[in-house]
């Protein structure tokens, strides 16, 4: 079937689907003035991240917008890392490809700046109103739209269909709970999914859930998880921090992408182990920058010696804890870690990316909430790289075991690196599926 006939088919909405889209669009319309007033207040108060560039959330552009062959949409940091890997591979065989990356969060925007070439244009994705999305697509004029993982918007995809722009979901993720929620909104979700040219699913769970939601077998392909092939992070900043603190010869435990109350768990574990392993350095990297000061105050109140990573001179006292209050450092820090804890997993956030420390040959601890990437976590756990922790006592137990037995710790780390090596190939499969491998 030709692309034009696909678009003709996709344009056919039932009465219920049309009403659902109208109702959804009215909700966005009502909410938009509230978001705009919020931005204006934060801008006048000079709050961080509320700058003029963020007006692109309302499809307002104060600078000229470059046309791009590719528009890639990401939510935040994890999706930006996936996009960066795809872009590196695209540019290897097609260096002149022009690319715009959109995000919805400031942390994602910051990661675009840090992890991608300067000639990749960044914009915030507008709120999902037809006029906003139409204005974005008219300005950028992409030949293809790639959406990373799960960030699907009905009006965005409808405008892609309207302009005849193929839209692909890459590294597609769909948890069981998300699929259940989407089924409750089937009159809105089904036409949105029909407007996708291809869904590149991470694993069998995601593939099956998209089928359940109405994606046709012809639209669906299981390409694997691109996160297995994320490029190693630049560790220059991390090396500078380790050298500055003079901790390279000490056991380092990195707690990455943490949420409340995970910092409290790590602090309590540090206290439990302080007498037996006084040389441990605990490095905490909160997921969200706005929590840096709160976490710093929490550590200070605990009585542990703490220093911020942004400090420009060596501390006078021995360091027990380091709070990383900068972006773009975590990936590099894993290469210096003896053991890692991956956050968003004791806190019910679905668990962040365990592959980053595993790729560095580091054993990993995670809490029970791992529904963002269950396949990855299951494989790492089965191979002995990842262990389950529910509380501070569990963290202290595994840290004690691994630091007391170097061979066991190295074996657990090696298992993670082997899992990643065995699962390579997702990037090339994805680029082939979306027609960007030439």
The answer to whether the CB of 342 falls within 8 A of the CB of 366 is: yes
| Distance in angstroms (rounded) separating the CA atoms of residues 158 and 317 | 59
- Closest of 372, 426, 433, 434 to residue 85, by C-alpha: 426
Burial 343-357 (b: 16+ CB within 10 A, else e): bbbbbebbbbbbbbb
Q: pLDDT tens track of the chain, all 438 residues?
A: 333 333 333 457 899 999 999 999 999 999 999 999 999 998 998 888 888 999 999 999 989 999 999 999 998 888 998 999 999 999 998 999 999 999 998 888 888 988 888 899 999 999 999 999 999 999 999 999 999 998 899 999 999 999 999 999 999 999 899 999 999 999 999 999 999 999 999 988 999 999 999 999 999 999 999 988 876 666 788 999 999 998 999 999 999 999 999 999 999 999 999 999 999 999 999 999 999 999 999 999 999 999 999 986 777 777 899 999 998 899 899 999 999 999 999 999 999 989 999 999 999 999 999 988 887 899 999 999 999 999 999 999 999 999 999 999 999 999 999 998 888 899 999 999 999 987
pLDDT at res. 4: 37
The answer to whether the CB of 327 falls within 8 A of the CB of 110 is: yes
- Closest of 218, 209, 142, 146 to residue 431, by C-alpha: 146
The answer to whether the CB of 330 falls within 8 A of the CB of 256 is: yes
438 three-state secondary structure: coil
Contacts within 8 Å (CB) and 24+ apart, 21-27: 21/154, 21/155, 21/158, 21/188, 21/191, 24/154, 24/155, 24/188, 25/129, 25/130, 25/155
pLDDT at res. 231: 65
Active-site annotation holds for 79 = yes
Structure tokens given for 279: 């040389």
The answer to whether the CB of 67 falls within 8 A of the CB of 137 is: no
The answer to whether the CB of 266 falls within 8 A of the CB of 295 is: no
Q: Collect all residues with Cβ–Cβ distance below 8 Å to 144 and sequence separation of at least 6.
A: 69, 70, 71, 165, 166, 167, 168, 434, 435, 436
Query: In whole angstroms, what separates CA 253 from the centre of its chain?
Result: 22
pLDDT at res. 1: 31
Q: How far is CA 61 from CA 64, 157, 160, 170, 251, in A?
A: 7, 21, 20, 27, 49
Active-site residue, from 79, 149, 229, 262 = 79
pLDDT at res. 271: 97
């Amino acid at each position: 079937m030709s692309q034009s006939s696909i678009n003709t088919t996709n344009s056919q909405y039932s009465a219920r689907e049309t009403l659902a889209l109208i109702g959804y669009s009215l909700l966005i319309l009502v909410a938009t003035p509230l978001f705009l007033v919020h931005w204006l207040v934060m801008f006048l108060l000079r709050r961080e991240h509320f700058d003029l560039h963020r007006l692109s959330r309302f499809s307002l552009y104060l600078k000229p917008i470059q046309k791009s062959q590719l528009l890639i949409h990401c939510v935040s940091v994890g999706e930006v890392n996936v996009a960066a890997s795809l872009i590196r591979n695209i540019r290897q065989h097609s260096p002149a490809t022009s690319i715009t990356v959109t995000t919805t969060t400031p942390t994602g925007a910051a990661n675009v700046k840090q992890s991608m070439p300067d000639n990749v244009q960044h914009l915030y994705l507008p709120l999902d109103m037809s006029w906003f999305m139409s204005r974005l697509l008219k300005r950028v004029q992409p030949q293809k739209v790639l959406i990373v993982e799960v960030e699907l918007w009905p009006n965005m995809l409808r405008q892609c269909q309207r302009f005849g722009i193929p839209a692909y979901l890459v590294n597609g993720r769909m948890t069981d709970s998300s699929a259940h929620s989407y089924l409750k909104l089937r009159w809105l979700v089904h036409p949105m999914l029909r407007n996708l040219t291809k869904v590149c699913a991470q694993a069998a769970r995601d593939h099956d859930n998209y089928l359940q939601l109405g994606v046709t077998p012809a639209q669906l392909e299981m390409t694997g998880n691109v996160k297995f092939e994320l490029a190693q992070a630049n560790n220059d900043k991390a090396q500078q921090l380790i050298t500055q603190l003079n901790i390279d010869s000490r056991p380092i435990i990195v707690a990455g992408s943490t949420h409340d109350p995970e910092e409290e768990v790590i602090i309590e574990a540090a206290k439990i182990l302080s007498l037996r392993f006084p040389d441990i350095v605990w490095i905490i990297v909160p997921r969200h920058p706005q929590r840096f000061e709160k976490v710093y105050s929490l550590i200070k109140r605990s009585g542990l010696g703490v220093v911020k990573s942004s400090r420009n001179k060596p501390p006078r006292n021995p360091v027990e804890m380091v709070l990383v209050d900068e972006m773009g450092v975590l990936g590099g820090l894993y290469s210096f870690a003896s053991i890692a804890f991956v956050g968003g997993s004791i806190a019910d956030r679905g668990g962040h990316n365990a592959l980053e420390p595993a790729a560095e040959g580091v054993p990993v601890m995670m809490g029970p909430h791992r529904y963002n990437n269950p396949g990855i976590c299951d494989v790492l756990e089965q191979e002995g790289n990842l262990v389950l922790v529910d509380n501070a006592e569990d963290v202290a137990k595994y840290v004690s075991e691994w630091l007391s037995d170097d061979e066991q710790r190295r074996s657990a780390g090696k298992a993670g690196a082997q899992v990643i090596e065995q699962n390579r190939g997702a990037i090339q499969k994805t680029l082939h599926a979306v027609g960007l491998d030439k």
